[in-house]
């Protein structure tokens, strides 16, 4: 008889087991078990007879216990768990678990890939069990360089729970310790988090019923700050929540069981909107990187609810504490404007005081040194046939648009007259392309066929425009890699005839009119020599004709670039210069140095990281990019990989990062000897945040950018000067004057927001009516689905229940699977006709169904004929029926109707 395969131990501690299976099987007796497992402060006497609340308590306790033991090997964790079960008389359950799970499996230790390995190949989705010896504790085993003076100690609190602060830190803590709302404004590495935790401790020590919400905007920073707070507040219950935690649905409404909730603002906003949680549940709100409290940014959405709280004494508003290294100036062009920007921020946060080191400024500058700054302008290649080839292809595509679309549609005609063809690498060209992509699907005058062809041409222009930018900053082979990935994204080679738009016809026996007779092939336009190798030949009136398509143009461009990339003479001098800068800094500052290179694009971070590992004599680096998906759903780095990269830097397995702006704010990483901003410039906040990363003594910041971004960086420096001058003006005003000014501005902001919300509600009441609409594919204009076959599930998910839709679509497996709203996203759903991405293919239990991406369709109102293109669901004027149990039943066997597309 075959032996049953046992489950991996890791599954015993999975979310599904922790919050569903184990609590149901354990039941009564969990109170004593919690104590035996070392959990403190657990009291369930008042819910002894309420099994629903008891089950929730079980989830809370088990999740907390599991988090506390996260660095303990699974085998040891499981052994302790079984021992506790047996001690509580739950012997049968312990035996059942031993039969189900493999307690004899070998312990896995984190492997360190070869430094030359492309880190994009790492599998972030594979569960890795870290032993304590392998991974260490991110806070306790921190080994900073000797010249790092950013923090005076790694020790936790003493026996009395106290921990020391420097004089300047005590200075900026005073307002918060008095219970006043304040913003702490101090540089990166000054210990703002330590100061905040000191204030939080005092708040909880003197307020036994106090509850604190500590906000972060990024998941990586959320994890790090959670560990810091747990370390320094060991006697209090601390819990972390984020959209990535499925336990949030169960636990967050029960925040009264925790003293400190570390969470993202979006996580709390969901419950505030539903009305299941009110901000008056908390006695203190702490906003890390509080300069994000502006207009529609996440923190301001939380503060909108704060400003709605009653101001009478019966309901006390939570204390507000903000932390930032730079408040910014928004669009201020003078000191008065910068002062207004600061006061507006204070008003949004109801803050009357800004705490910044003044009395102890000398000590502050000793421990938070100002890095030395240098700048260098990037050089253009004297000969750049790569750029010439790409621009030649763009010239042909732009010519097609001019020849085919002029005079057919007045709006498109106007756009074509505004094409900034001499500025293809600039933002103006990107903006023009975006406006063109928005105008084409909405056109009433273009035929569906011409409209589809024009959209394909615009997509190819977008691909080549990005290739130009890659060519400007990265290697020649990176340009080819970008074009390859774009071919998969736009289905260039597999999209069929619908994507092979003809851009010119010429006789096989005729001389191409573009060929001037010169033997210099560089003077030909791309496509001139395609005839010799093009296999796309059609018969027309008895004569052989060759069709030059966007596909054959793509093949020509990539083939020519492959040949050019073999010649080192054409290599980008800027990427070579970057590598020289890195090596020079290592030689000057020592081989134990740590560095960061900041870049703008995700693919740039990946490419530069790989290049430095291959070419630099000293650099051992990994890339760090956003954990959030792009609009296309690709190009992100998992949260697990984020943590893994940071841990590698902390443990000195690597000595550098190549990162996008995700590493600019707040991450607890070692003090860097040098920071290089490689063609990276955004605003003055980014400037100061990036500079704050070079916080070792004698640190260096180098701005290496083209002339345009070099000028932008100079403007940022001027704005920083305005910001500092405005700060002095604010600090110099009487406190009572500031208080009155803040109250006045806050009342104005609250009134404006109330009026905007009322207008929005009124518009929603007027606009959302019963009616029908049709969705057509954005690219090929084919009818995809009617509104009668769409259902709304949990407000934001629009599911197709009509079976005809699935016969018009194909599904392709996703590279990464993700879960949300009880659904598992396993597929991309694409148009069978043109391969345009229509949405996601999700699974719930055994059912498969499509969730639509509305921006991938042209929506036509069946009654009025009005078209909506690239708009959110909220812009559609008609209501969508809510998903019912009967609708869920209709989803059965939809996977049998849809065709499976080959994996890319």
Cβ–Cβ < 8 Å for 578, 676: yes
Q: Helices marked H in 768-884 — which ranges?
A: 803-807
* 637 three-class SS: coil
Least confident residue range of 468-472, 658-662, 689-693: 689-693
- Longest Cα pair distance anywhere in the chain, in angstroms? 96
**pLDDT tens per residue across span 140-188:** 323 333 344 444 434 566 555 677 899 999 999 999 999 999 999 988 7
Over the stretch 40-51, which tens digit does the pLDDT of each residue have?
334 444 334 444
Token pair belonging to 353: 């005081």
Which of 563, 564, 565, 552 is CA-nearest to residue 460?
552
**Residue pLDDT, tens place only, 410-459:** 888 888 888 887 788 888 898 899 889 888 888 888 888 888 899 999 99
CA dist 258 and 249 (Å) reads: 15
Residue 511 CB contacts under 8 Å (≥ 6 apart), including other chains: none
Please tell me the predicted confidence (pLDDT) of residue 863: 84
State the DSSP H helix or E strand holding residue 730, giving kind and residue range, or none if neither.
Answer: helix 707-732
In the chain, the percentage of residues whose pLDDT exceeds 90 is: 26
> pLDDT (tens digit, 9 = 90+) per residue, 567-595?
988 889 999 999 999 999 999 988 888 89
Percent of the chain with pLDDT over 70: 74
- Of 114-123, 304-313, 532-541, the poorest mean pLDDT is in 114-123
3-state secondary structure of 655: coil
pLDDT score, position 42? 40
Give the strand pairing for 319-324 and 182-185: parallel
Q: Are 21 and 55 in contact (CB under 8 A)?
A: no
pLDDT at 789 over 90: yes
Cα–Cα nearest to 585, from 563, 560, 617: 617
CA distances from 252 to 203, 213, 279, 469 (A): 21, 11, 12, 44
Is 666's pLDDT higher than 70? no
What's the pLDDT at 332?
Answer: 76
Tens digit of pLDDT for each residue in 211-258? 999 998 877 778 788 888 988 998 898 888 875 554 444 455 566 678
Segment 877-892 mean pLDDT: 87
What is the pLDDT at residue 584?
Answer: 93
pLDDT of amino acid 296: 80
Residue 724's pLDDT is what?
Answer: 83
User: Mean pLDDT across the chain, nearest whole number?
Assistant: 77
Segment among 301-305, 326-330, 605-609, 764-768 with least mean pLDDT: 764-768
pLDDT band for position 873 (50/70/90)?
confident
Name the token pair of 513: 């009119």
Strand partners, 212: 260, 284
Matching residue, tokens 């991996």: 8
Task: Please report the pLDDT score of residue 522 as a whole number.
Answer: 45
What would the mean pLDDT of 866-895 be, rounded to a whole number? 86
Of 687 and 119, the structure prediction assigns the larger pLDDT to 687
Q: How far is CA 505 from CA 394, 522, 528, 530, 539, in A?
A: 18, 22, 11, 11, 12
Q: Which residues pair with 656 in a beta bridge?
A: 595, 621
Domains and CATH numbers, the chain: 7-57 (no CATH), 167-367 (3.40.50.300), 372-378+572-628+636-728 (3.40.50.300), 384-491+551-567 (1.20.1320), 773-899 (2.170.150.30)
**Alpha-helical runs (H) found in 773-868:** 803-807
Integer Cα distance of 137 and 130 in angstroms: 11
Q: Mean per-residue pLDDT for 597-622?
A: 90
Nearest to 768 by CA among 880, 862, 881, 879: 879
Who wins on pLDDT, 791 or 25? 791
Distance between CA 715 and CA 107 in Å, rounded? 55
Neighbours of 311 (CB within 10 A): 9
| Lowest-confidence pick of 60-64, 318-322, 520-524, 882-886 | 520-524
SS3 899: strand
SS3 state at 630: coil
Least-confidence region, from 292-296, 326-330, 516-520: 516-520
């Amino acid at each position: 008889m075959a032996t049953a395969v046992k489950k991996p131990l890791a599954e015993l501690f999975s979310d599904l087991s922790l919050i569903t299976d184990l609590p149901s099987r354990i039941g009564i007796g969990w109170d004593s078990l919690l104590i035996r497992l070392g959990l403190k402060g657990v009291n369930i006497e008042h819910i002894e007879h309420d099994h629903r609340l008891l089950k929730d308590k079980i989830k809370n306790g088990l999740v907390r216990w599991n988090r506390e033991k996260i660095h303990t090997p699974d085998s040891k964790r499981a052994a302790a768990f079984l021992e506790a079960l047996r001690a509580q008389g739950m012997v049968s359950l312990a035996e059942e678990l031993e039969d189900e799970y493999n307690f004899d499996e070998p312990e896995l230790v984190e492997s360190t890939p070869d430094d030359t390995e492309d880190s994009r190949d790492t599998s972030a989705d594979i569960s890795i069990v870290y032993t304590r010896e392998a991974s260490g504790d991110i806070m306790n085993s921190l080994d900073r360089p000797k010249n790092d003076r950013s923090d005076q100690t790694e020790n936790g609190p003493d026996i009395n729970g106290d921990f020391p602060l420097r004089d300047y830190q005590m200075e900026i803590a005073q307002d918060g310790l008095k219970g006043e709302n304040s913003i702490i404004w101090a540089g990166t590495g000054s210990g703002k988090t330590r100061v905040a935790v000191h204030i939080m401790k005092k708040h909880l020590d003197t307020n036994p019923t106090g509850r604190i919400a500590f906000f972060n905007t990024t998941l990586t920073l959320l994890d790090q700050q959670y560990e810091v707070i747990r370390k320094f507040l060991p006697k209090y219950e601390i819990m972390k929540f984020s959209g990535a935690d499925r336990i949030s649905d169960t636990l967050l409404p029960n925040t009264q069981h925790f003293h400190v909730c570390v969470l993202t603002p979006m996580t709390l906003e969901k419950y505030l909107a539903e009305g299941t949680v009110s901000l008056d549940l908390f006695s203190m709100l702490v906003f890390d990187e509080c300069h994000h409290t502006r207009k529609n940014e996440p923190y301001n959405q939380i503060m909108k609810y704060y400003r709605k709280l009653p101001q009478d004494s019966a309901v006390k508003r939570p204390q507000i504490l903000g932390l930032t290294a730079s408040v910014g100036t928004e669009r201020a062009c003078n000191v008065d404007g910068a002062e207004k920007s600061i006061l507006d921020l204070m008003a949004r946060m109801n803050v009357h005081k800004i705490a910044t080191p003044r009395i102890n400024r000398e000590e502050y500058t000793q421990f938070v040194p100002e890095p030395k700054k240098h700048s260098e302008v990037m050089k253009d290649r004297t000969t750049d046939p790569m750029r010439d080839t790409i621009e030649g292809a763009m010239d042909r595509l732009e010519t097609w648009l001019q020849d085919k679309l002029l005079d057919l549609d007045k709006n498109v005609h106007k756009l074509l007259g505004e094409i900034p063809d001499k500025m293809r690498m600039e933002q103006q060209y990107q903006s023009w392309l975006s406006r063109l992509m928005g105008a084409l699907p909405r056109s009433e005058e273009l035929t569906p066929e011409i409209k589809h062809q024009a959209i394909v041409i615009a997509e190819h222009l977008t691909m080549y425009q990005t290739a130009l930018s890659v060519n400007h900053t990265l290697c020649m082979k990176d340009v080819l890699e970008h074009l390859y990935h774009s071919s998969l994204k736009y289905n260039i080679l597999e999209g069929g005839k619908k994507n092979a738009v003809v851009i010119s016809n010429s006789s096989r026996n005729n001389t191409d009119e573009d060929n001037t007779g010169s033997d210099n092939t560089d003077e030909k336009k791309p496509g001139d020599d395609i005839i010799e190798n093009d296999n796309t030949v059609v018969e027309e009136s008895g004569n052989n004709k060759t069709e030059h398509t966007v596909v054959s143009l793509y093949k020509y461009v990539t083939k020519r670039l492959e040949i050019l990339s073999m010649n080192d003479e054409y290599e980008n001098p800027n990427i070579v210069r970057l590598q020289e800068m890195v090596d020079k800094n290592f030689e000057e500052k020592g081989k134990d140095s740590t560095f960061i290179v900041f870049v703008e694009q995700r693919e740039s971070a990946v490419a530069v990281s790989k290049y430095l590992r291959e070419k630099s004599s000293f650099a051992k680096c990994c890339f760090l990019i956003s954990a959030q998906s792009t609009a296309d759903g690709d190009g992100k780095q998992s949260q697990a990989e984020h943590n893994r990269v940071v841990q590698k830097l902390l443990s000195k397995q690597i000595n550098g990062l190549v990162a996008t702006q995700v590493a600019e704010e707040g991450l607890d990483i070692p003090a860097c000897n040098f920071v290089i901003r490689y063609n990276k410039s955004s605003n003055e906040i980014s400037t100061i945040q990036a500079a704050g990363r070079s916080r070792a003594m004698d640190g260096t910041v180098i701005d290496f950018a083209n002339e345009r971004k070099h000028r932008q960086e100079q403007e940022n420096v001027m704005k920083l000067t305005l910001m500092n001058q405005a700060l002095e003006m604010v600090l110099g005003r009487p406190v009572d004057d500031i208080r009155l000014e803040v109250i006045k501005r806050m009342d104005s902001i609250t009134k404006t927001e109330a009026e905007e919300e009322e207008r929005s509600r009124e518009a929603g009441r007027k606009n959302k009516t019963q009616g029908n609409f049709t969705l057509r594919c954005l690219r090929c204009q084919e009818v995809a689905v009617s509104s009668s076959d769409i259902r709304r599930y949990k407000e934001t998910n629009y599911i197709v229940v009509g079976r005809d839709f699935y016969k018009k679509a194909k599904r392709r497996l996703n590279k990464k699977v993700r879960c949300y709203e009880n659904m598992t996203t396993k597929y991309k759903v694409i148009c069978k006709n043109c391969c345009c991405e229509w949405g996601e293919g999700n699974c719930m239990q055994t059912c498969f169904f499509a969730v639509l991406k509305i921006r991938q369709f042209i929506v036509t109102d069946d009654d009025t004929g009005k078209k909506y293109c690239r708009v959110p669901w909220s812009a559609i004027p008609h209501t969508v029926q809510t998903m019912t149990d009967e609708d869920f039943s209709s989803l059965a066997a939809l996977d049998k109707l849809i065709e499976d597309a080959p994996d890319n």
